[in-house]
Amino acid sequence: MHGLKVSVAEILGHPGNFRDISIDAELTQVGNALVHEADLPLRGRLRAEAVVEGVLVTGDVATMVDASCARCLREVNEEISLEVVELFVGEGHEVPDEDEVYEVEGFEIDLEPMLRDAVTLALPLNPLCRSDCKGLCAHCGKDLNEGPCSCRQEEIDPRWAALSELRDRLG
Ligand SMILES: [Zn+2]
Ligand SMILES: [Zn+2]
Protein backbone atom coordinates (compact mmCIF):
# COMPACT_ATOMS: atom_id res chain seq x y z
CA MET A 1 0.00 0.00 0.00
CA HIS A 2 1.52 3.30 -1.07
CA GLY A 3 0.47 6.87 -0.77
CA LEU A 4 -1.50 6.69 2.45
CA LYS A 5 1.32 7.63 4.77
CA VAL A 6 1.10 11.34 5.17
CA SER A 7 3.68 13.65 6.67
CA VAL A 8 2.36 15.89 9.40
CA ALA A 9 5.79 17.34 10.26
CA GLU A 10 4.76 20.87 9.36
CA ILE A 11 1.57 21.00 11.37
CA LEU A 12 2.27 18.72 14.33
CA GLY A 13 2.28 20.66 17.56
CA HIS A 14 0.67 23.72 16.00
CA PRO A 15 -3.02 23.34 16.78
CA GLY A 16 -5.18 24.90 14.10
CA ASN A 17 -2.68 24.31 11.31
CA PHE A 18 -3.78 21.86 8.69
CA ARG A 19 -2.92 20.25 5.39
CA ASP A 20 -5.27 18.93 2.77
CA ILE A 21 -4.74 15.47 1.41
CA SER A 22 -6.23 14.11 -1.76
CA ILE A 23 -6.75 10.40 -1.65
CA ASP A 24 -6.30 8.34 -4.77
CA ALA A 25 -5.30 4.89 -3.71
CA GLU A 26 -6.31 1.29 -3.48
CA LEU A 27 -7.39 -0.50 -0.37
CA THR A 28 -6.31 -4.10 -0.71
CA GLN A 29 -8.58 -7.03 -0.01
CA VAL A 30 -11.67 -5.54 1.58
CA GLY A 31 -14.98 -7.36 1.60
CA ASN A 32 -17.70 -9.10 3.57
CA ALA A 33 -20.14 -11.94 3.03
CA LEU A 34 -21.94 -10.19 0.17
CA VAL A 35 -19.29 -7.77 -1.01
CA HIS A 36 -16.64 -9.57 -3.03
CA GLU A 37 -13.28 -9.16 -1.47
CA ALA A 38 -11.28 -6.98 -3.76
CA ASP A 39 -8.83 -4.15 -4.04
CA LEU A 40 -11.05 -1.12 -3.79
CA PRO A 41 -10.27 2.15 -5.53
CA LEU A 42 -10.49 4.93 -3.02
CA ARG A 43 -10.90 8.60 -3.81
CA GLY A 44 -11.53 11.57 -1.66
CA ARG A 45 -10.34 14.64 0.10
CA LEU A 46 -9.24 14.71 3.68
CA ARG A 47 -7.94 17.41 5.93
CA ALA A 48 -5.37 16.71 8.62
CA GLU A 49 -5.57 19.34 11.29
CA ALA A 50 -3.25 19.64 14.24
CA VAL A 51 -5.07 19.59 17.55
CA VAL A 52 -3.72 19.54 21.08
CA GLU A 53 -4.02 15.73 21.32
CA GLY A 54 -2.48 15.01 17.93
CA VAL A 55 -3.93 15.20 14.45
CA LEU A 56 -7.60 15.20 13.56
CA VAL A 57 -8.44 13.81 10.14
CA THR A 58 -11.76 14.76 8.58
CA GLY A 59 -13.27 14.61 5.13
CA ASP A 60 -15.03 12.40 2.63
CA VAL A 61 -13.91 9.35 0.73
CA ALA A 62 -15.74 7.20 -1.77
CA THR A 63 -15.24 3.80 -3.27
CA MET A 64 -17.02 1.37 -5.53
CA VAL A 65 -17.74 -2.23 -4.59
CA ASP A 66 -18.94 -5.30 -6.47
CA ALA A 67 -21.51 -7.09 -4.41
CA SER A 68 -24.18 -9.74 -4.80
CA CYS A 69 -27.79 -8.69 -4.41
CA ALA A 70 -28.90 -10.01 -1.02
CA ARG A 71 -32.14 -11.31 -2.54
CA CYS A 72 -31.36 -12.58 -6.03
CA LEU A 73 -27.53 -12.79 -5.95
CA ARG A 74 -27.26 -10.75 -9.14
CA GLU A 75 -24.11 -8.64 -9.45
CA VAL A 76 -24.45 -5.13 -8.11
CA ASN A 77 -22.07 -2.21 -8.28
CA GLU A 78 -22.52 0.03 -5.35
CA GLU A 79 -20.83 3.30 -4.58
CA ILE A 80 -19.97 3.87 -0.97
CA SER A 81 -19.36 7.36 0.33
CA LEU A 82 -18.28 7.91 3.85
CA GLU A 83 -17.41 10.71 6.13
CA VAL A 84 -14.28 10.36 8.17
CA VAL A 85 -13.62 11.96 11.54
CA GLU A 86 -10.68 10.33 13.28
CA LEU A 87 -8.14 11.42 15.79
CA PHE A 88 -4.55 10.31 15.44
CA VAL A 89 -3.17 10.51 18.94
CA GLY A 90 0.13 12.31 19.27
CA GLU A 91 3.03 11.12 21.34
CA GLY A 92 2.53 11.63 25.04
CA HIS A 93 -1.25 11.76 24.78
CA GLU A 94 -3.09 8.74 26.04
CA VAL A 95 -6.61 7.97 24.90
CA PRO A 96 -7.65 5.01 27.05
CA ASP A 97 -10.38 2.46 26.41
CA GLU A 98 -11.10 2.96 22.78
CA ASP A 99 -11.46 0.16 20.31
CA GLU A 100 -9.63 1.81 17.49
CA VAL A 101 -6.83 4.13 18.37
CA TYR A 102 -4.72 5.52 15.58
CA GLU A 103 -1.46 7.14 16.45
CA VAL A 104 0.88 9.66 14.97
CA GLU A 105 4.03 7.74 14.09
CA GLY A 106 6.95 10.09 14.35
CA PHE A 107 6.02 12.83 11.91
CA GLU A 108 3.65 10.70 9.87
CA ILE A 109 0.14 9.41 10.03
CA ASP A 110 -0.74 6.20 8.22
CA LEU A 111 -4.25 6.57 6.87
CA GLU A 112 -4.45 3.01 5.58
CA PRO A 113 -5.66 1.18 8.74
CA MET A 114 -8.10 3.97 9.53
CA LEU A 115 -9.57 4.02 6.02
CA ARG A 116 -9.70 0.23 5.93
CA ASP A 117 -11.70 0.18 9.17
CA ALA A 118 -14.01 2.95 7.99
CA VAL A 119 -14.66 1.34 4.61
CA THR A 120 -15.17 -2.10 6.14
CA LEU A 121 -17.78 -0.66 8.48
CA ALA A 122 -19.49 1.11 5.60
CA LEU A 123 -19.75 -1.94 3.34
CA PRO A 124 -23.37 -2.69 2.54
CA LEU A 125 -24.79 -5.55 4.61
CA ASN A 126 -27.87 -5.77 2.46
CA PRO A 127 -26.95 -4.80 -1.09
CA LEU A 128 -29.88 -4.91 -3.50
CA CYS A 129 -29.87 -4.86 -7.30
CA ARG A 130 -32.94 -2.64 -7.03
CA SER A 131 -35.09 -1.66 -4.08
CA ASP A 132 -38.04 -3.79 -5.22
CA CYS A 133 -36.02 -6.87 -6.13
CA LYS A 134 -38.34 -9.86 -5.84
CA GLY A 135 -35.53 -12.27 -5.07
CA LEU A 136 -35.30 -15.97 -5.73
CA CYS A 137 -38.03 -18.53 -5.05
CA ALA A 138 -37.09 -20.31 -1.84
CA HIS A 139 -38.27 -23.60 -3.34
CA CYS A 140 -37.04 -23.77 -6.92
CA GLY A 141 -34.50 -20.94 -6.95
CA LYS A 142 -36.06 -19.20 -9.94
CA ASP A 143 -35.33 -15.49 -10.23
CA LEU A 144 -38.77 -14.02 -9.56
CA ASN A 145 -37.77 -10.76 -11.26
CA GLU A 146 -38.06 -12.71 -14.49
CA GLY A 147 -41.59 -13.86 -13.76
CA PRO A 148 -43.47 -16.14 -11.38
CA CYS A 149 -42.39 -19.74 -10.97
CA SER A 150 -44.72 -22.69 -10.82
CA CYS A 151 -44.08 -23.46 -7.12
CA ARG A 152 -46.97 -21.35 -5.89
CA GLN A 153 -49.36 -23.58 -7.75
CA GLU A 154 -47.83 -26.74 -6.30
CA GLU A 155 -47.80 -25.25 -2.83
CA ILE A 156 -51.48 -24.45 -2.89
CA ASP A 157 -52.61 -27.62 -4.60
CA PRO A 158 -52.01 -30.10 -1.74
CA ARG A 159 -53.86 -27.86 0.66
CA TRP A 160 -56.84 -27.63 -1.64
CA ALA A 161 -56.61 -31.35 -2.09
CA ALA A 162 -56.67 -31.91 1.69
CA LEU A 163 -59.58 -29.54 2.03
CA SER A 164 -61.65 -31.19 -0.60
CA GLU A 165 -60.80 -34.57 0.86
CA LEU A 166 -62.08 -33.33 4.21
CA ARG A 167 -65.15 -31.94 2.59
CA ASP A 168 -65.77 -35.27 0.92
CA ARG A 169 -65.46 -37.09 4.23
CA LEU A 170 -67.82 -34.68 6.02
CA GLY A 171 -70.22 -34.75 3.16
ZN1 LIG B 1 -31.81 -8.63 -6.73
ZN1 LIG C 1 -40.41 -21.63 -7.29
Ordered by start, the domain boundaries in the chain are 5-122, 134-171
Q: What percent of the chain has pLDDT over 70?
A: 88
pLDDT value at residue 18: 98
Instruction: Write the secondary structure of 6-71 as one string of H (helix), E (strand) and C (coil).
Output: EECCCCCCCCCCEEEEEEEEEEEEECCCCECCEEEEEEEEEEEEEECCEEEEEEEEEEEEEEECCC
Per-residue pLDDT, averaged over 69-87, amounts to: 93
Considering only residues 99 and 105, tell me which one the structure prediction assigns the higher pLDDT: 105
Q: Report pLDDT for 1.
A: 41
Q: How far is the CA of 157 from the centre of ligand 2 (A)?
A: 14
Choose between 157 and 130: higher pLDDT. Answer: 130
Q: How far apart are CA 74 and CA 128, in angstroms?
A: 9
Give residue 75 CA to ligand 2 midpoint distance, Å. Answer: 21
Q: Which ligand lies nearest the alpha carbon of 133? A: 1
Distance 160 CA to ligand 2 centre (A): 18
Does residue 102 surpass a pLDDT of 80? Answer: yes
Q: How many A from CA of 14 to the centre of ligand 1? A: 51
Closest ligand by atom to 145 CA: 1
Ligand nearest to the backbone CA of 72: 1
